[in-house]
Amino acid sequence: MKTFKYLMIGASALVLTACGNSDTSRDLAEANVDYQATLMEQLIDAQPGDVIEIPAGVYSFDRSLSLNIDGVTIRGAGMDETILSFQDQIAGAEGLIVTANDFTLENLAIEDTIGDGLKVNGGENIIIRGVRVEWTNGYATENGAYGIYPVQTTNVLVEDTVAIGASDAGIYVGQSRNVIVRNSRAEYNVAGIEIENCIGADVYGNTATNNTGGILVFNMPNLPQPGYHTRVYDNDIFANNTENFGHAGTPVASVPAGSGVVINSNDQVEIFNNRISDNDTANIIISSLHSTGYSDYSVQTDFDPYPESIWIHDNTYSGGGTSPDGLDLTALKIAMFGLNGALPDVLFDGFVDDAKLVDGALPDALRICVSDPVDVLNADGPNGYASPSVDTEDFRCSLDSLSAVELAFAD
């Protein structure tokens, strides 16, 4: 939201130098540096069907690894046993970049990359399992942007992974189709788990805590694929109150600290059966691109900025909203709910597509529905946030449940 955004720029500028919650990175004194050439050759020589096994150990790399052969599995001995460290990296924008189909990466850790940890750019049938991507110095603006980063992929399974310390998103699936992110843990990232411009995503069984924002479902403009149809369920999303340490200019830099779930400009999103608590700004935020500081110059003409067909139900809530990020939100909270009060569990920026209104209201199928017994604050964005109000009854509706993502290798 615009108010959020301006405040965030001020807030993050203050904290940049203070970021970092750990004094020391992994000690590489005993790390194996000779393995780099071995693994690079294996990646180059790989044939479809190959399994590249990396034994337990700490391996240091000074350049990116890349793989572009279909049908390859890279397997370590466990995310705490096989450690690929890029602390001494001098070249390459990621730790491992994969451009291939039928790829599996499992049971290892990628640590301290300069840029992204694991990027999978394009490809079908991608499995990322038991992988940890971490910046071992703790959260810091200087850390790489994305931990686990499949983009423009189809049929993607991310499970049992851990992402810690990303200066953008820990687990980020972008512009993909048919995605499952489950049973993973995202901590101390700006965005814990982010689904962006994806068609068909199920996010469940995850824990997102100590991020700036826990789970984000976004649509961004100017991309080849707009996203829709995401289910977020059975997750633990609590205390995502870490200061926003993202780089100014990145979309996530406008996310207020203390955001549990954020839906921005996405459609057909179902949020249910989650345990959401103690996110200091709000447990759930629903917003449009209009409130994130984008101007008309910046957006392709056919982009739909409005979040529509959103259904929030059967979640449990506790705490949250008591210490919103930024002066405007703090002032809003105090004005509406008192010094010791709290913003409601659900915040909506209030932007609605006038062109779709029928008799002054959105058709039922496009509504934002909150079935949970919690309040909804409409921030009145279209009127410059002049008259925010608790309009809970306007959101008392339900939608049809979305279908599950079917992924043959995820059963």
Partner 1 sequence: MTVFRGLILIAAAALAACSPNAPTAQFHSEDNPRLLSEWGQLGIVAGDLQLADGVVPYDLNTPLFTDYALKLRTIWMPSGETAAYRENDTLDFPVGTVITKTFYYPLADTPGQVTRGDGHSLTRADGSLDLSRVQLIETRILVHREAGWEALPYRWNDDQTEAVLLRYGDVVPMTVAEADGGASTFNYVMPDVNQCASCHAPDSNTRQIAPIGPKPRHLNRDFDYPDGTANQLEYLTEVGYLTGAPVPADAPRNADWEDLEASLEARARAYLDANCSHCHSPVGPADTSGLNLQPDIAHGPALGICKLPIAAGSGTGDRRFDIFPGRPDESILLFRLDNVEPDQMMPEVGRSTNHVEGIELIRAWIESLPGDCG
Binding site for partner 1 (CB under 8 A): 37, 40-41, 43-44, 62-64, 66-68, 89-93, 97, 99-100, 113-116, 121-122, 141-142, 144-146, 149, 151-152, 167-168, 172, 174-175, 220-224, 247-251, 293-300
Least gap, CB of 253 to partner 1 (angstroms): 8
Which residue lies nearer to partner 1 by CB, 144 or 320?
144
Which residue lies nearer to partner 1 by CB, 112 or 159?
112
- What six digits make up the tokens of 58? 């700490």
Least gap, CB of 235 to partner 1 (angstroms): 23
Which residue lies nearer to partner 1 by CB, 64 or 240?
64
Which residue lies nearer to partner 1 by CB, 221 or 382?
221
Taking the mean position of all CA atoms in its chain, how far away is CA 105? 20
Least gap, CB of 328 to partner 1 (angstroms): 20
Report the candidate in 265, 270, 354, 363 with the shortest Cα–Cα distance to residue 306: 265
Distance CA 26, CA 29 (A): 9
Least gap, CB of 220 to partner 1 (angstroms): 5
Which residue lies nearer to partner 1 by CB, 19 or 343?
19
- What six digits make up the tokens of 9? 């720029």
Least gap, CB of 291 to partner 1 (angstroms): 14
Which residue lies nearer to partner 1 by CB, 69 or 368?
69
**Considering just the CA atoms, what is the radius of gyration of the chain in Å?**
21
Query: Which residues, other chains included, contact 296 with Cβ-Cβ below 8 Å and sequence gap of 6+?
Result: none
Distance CA 204, CA 206 (A): 5
Q: Three-class SS of residue 11?
A: helix
Which residue lies nearer to partner 1 by CB, 91 or 358?
91
Q: Which amino acid is at 216?
A: L
User: At residue 232, what are phi and psi to the nearest 5 degrees?
Assistant: -120, 110
Distance CA 380, CA 387 (A): 6
Distances (CA, A) of 29 to 47, 58, 395: 34, 10, 58
Distances (CA, A) of 3 to 8, 216, 282, 291, 355: 9, 19, 15, 8, 25
DSSP β-ladder status, 207-209 and 236-238: parallel
Least gap, CB of 222 to partner 1 (angstroms): 4
Least gap, CB of 19 to partner 1 (angstroms): 13
